[in-house]
């Protein structure tokens, strides 16, 4: 059994941001990070990779280059949380105890929950931007598309970057127009949600984009099965239970997602499987020496890197206050940001809090499509991520 001061599980955006902020302190505590991955991916660019703007290699860097100086890196996987014993068990059978635990294990892609889908991404026009391994399938499917139905799905679960399924749809629409095949195509957004976007200010613009492009919407429809060789997708209406079948030439799948099984199977989880934390302090509801942020947490906000950028300093401040026996006064207001690409060279930058109130960063109406915001996503935000957030400086 190995004892640690602060143990962080997960070396993605949340885990590395918290580790870097802790180690940047004048008198930093000892920090140990559990993370098995050899590489770290900047996932927000996968939309542009799928559309053919970038090569996916530009989104990936070596994990070792971003482990903060002084952090002890255990390159292994957590297989069990035992918060009642202040213990994390790793795949090598080792038991790691801690004074405080930070859970930042991300989100799990549940491809298997769509009948007939596993093993067929990249075949029969089926594609997805939702993993490094599958993102090139979208570029290939668009290049091979000659007409018919291009269907884009959104599942009936929380997802990382909830805008991503429609971002690739708008870019795909541009690709098909440039290829001269849009006039013999139907672009269909089959989404489990009830509207194009949850914040009315931005939904107004996106509804106009959909209308301008002639995109068909089919809300409250959840993808439940595919027949790859027959190119048929089956959806269930979430209110009536009625089944609907769509034939497709291209099917972009946003898979169902959930908290990782290691969380769901532990005492850390709430009834829905997420790490149960206070939505303002990020401290666990039942285990005060545990904190969590990012996609695996129960925070009722969009799961985006921008949300983590605001969560990390709050978590660090409250963790340090807890260690010092002081009140937890730092508060996260639910800020999230979704840079909604609406076409090549166009982007709506949605920023909002728990109450759906716009929290915009620039002195203009961000609900309007702008090239400047597209350039921000393509060039500035990756630099902010690699050299700011992951270094604990932004």
127 is catalytic: no
Collapse the DSSP code of 14 into the 3-class scheme (helix H, G, I; strand E, B; otherwise coil) and give the result. helix
The token pair that represents 250 in the structure block: 């291209």
The residue ranges of DSSP E strands in 158-297, in sequence order, are 185-191, 216-219, 221-227, 232-237, 243-247, 250-252, 257-258, 290-292
What residues pair up with 297 in beta bridges, in sequence order? Answer: 275
Helix (H) or strand (E) holding 151: strand 148-154
Residues 6 or more apart whose Cβ sits within 8 Å of residue 111: 117, 118, 121, 255
161 is catalytic: yes
Antiparallel, parallel or unpaired: β 72-74 and 31-34:
parallel
Choose, from 141, 161, 171, 269, the residue flagged as catalytic: 161
In a 10 Å sphere around its CB, with 0-12 CB exposed, 13-18 middle and 19+ buried, how is residue 235 labelled? buried
Q: DSSP assignment, residue 65?
A: G
Nearest by Cα to 106 from 315, 254, 275, 266? 275
Backbone angles phi, psi at 294, to 5 degrees: 80, -160
Secondary structure, 3-state, 198-212? CCHHHHHHHHHHHHH
The token pair that represents 386 in the structure block: 């690699």
Active site residues: 161, 338
């Amino acid at each position: 059994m190995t004892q640690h001061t602060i143990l962080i599980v997960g070396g993605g955006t949340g885990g590395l941001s918290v580790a870097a902020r802790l180690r940047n302190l004048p008198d930093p505590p000892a920090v140990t990070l559990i993370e098995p991955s050899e590489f770290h991916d900047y996932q927000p660019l996968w939309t542009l990779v799928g559309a053919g703007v970038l090569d996916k290699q530009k989104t990936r860097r070596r994990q070792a280059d971003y482990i903060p100086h002084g952090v002890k890196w255990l390159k292994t996987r957590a297989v069990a949380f035992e918060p009642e014993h202040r213990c994390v068990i790793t795949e090598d059978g080792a038991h790691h105890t801690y004074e405080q635990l930070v859970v930042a294990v991300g989100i799990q892609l549940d491809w298997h929950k769509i009948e007939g889908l596993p093993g067929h991404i990249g075949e029969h026009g089926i594609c997805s931007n939702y993993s490094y391994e599958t993102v090139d399938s979208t570029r290939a499917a668009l290049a091979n598309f000659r007409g018919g139905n291009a269907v884009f799905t959104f599942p009936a679960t929380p997802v990382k970057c909830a805008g991503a399924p429609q971002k690739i749809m708008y870019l795909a629409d541009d690709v098909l127009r440039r290829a001269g095949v849009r006039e013999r195509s139907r672009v269909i957004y089959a989404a489990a949600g009830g509207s194009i976007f949850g914040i009315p200010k931005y939904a107004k613009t996106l509804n106009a984009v959909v209308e301008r492009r002639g995109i068909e919407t089919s809300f409250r429809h959840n993808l439940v099965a595919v027949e790859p060789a027959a190119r048929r997708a089956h959806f269930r209406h979430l209110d009536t239970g009625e089944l609907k079948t769509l034939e497709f030439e291209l099917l972009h799948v946003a898979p169902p997602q959930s908290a990782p099984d290691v969380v769901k199977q532990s005492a850390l989880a709430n009834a829905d499987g997420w790490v149960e934390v206070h939505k303002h302090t990020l401290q666990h509801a039942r285990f005060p020496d545990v904190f969590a942020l990012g996609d695996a947490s129960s925070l009722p906000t969009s799961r985006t890197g921008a949300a983590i950028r605001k969560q990390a300093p709050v978590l660090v401040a409250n963790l340090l206050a807890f260690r010092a026996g002081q009140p937890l006064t730092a508060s996260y207001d639910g800020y999230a940001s979704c840079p909604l690409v609406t076409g090549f060279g166009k982007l709506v930058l949605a920023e909002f809090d728990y109450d759906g109130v716009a929290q915009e960063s620039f002195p203009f109406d961000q609900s309007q499509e702008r090239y400047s915001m597209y350039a921000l996503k393509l060039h500035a935000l990756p630099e902010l991520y690699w050299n700011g957030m992951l270094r604990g400086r932004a």
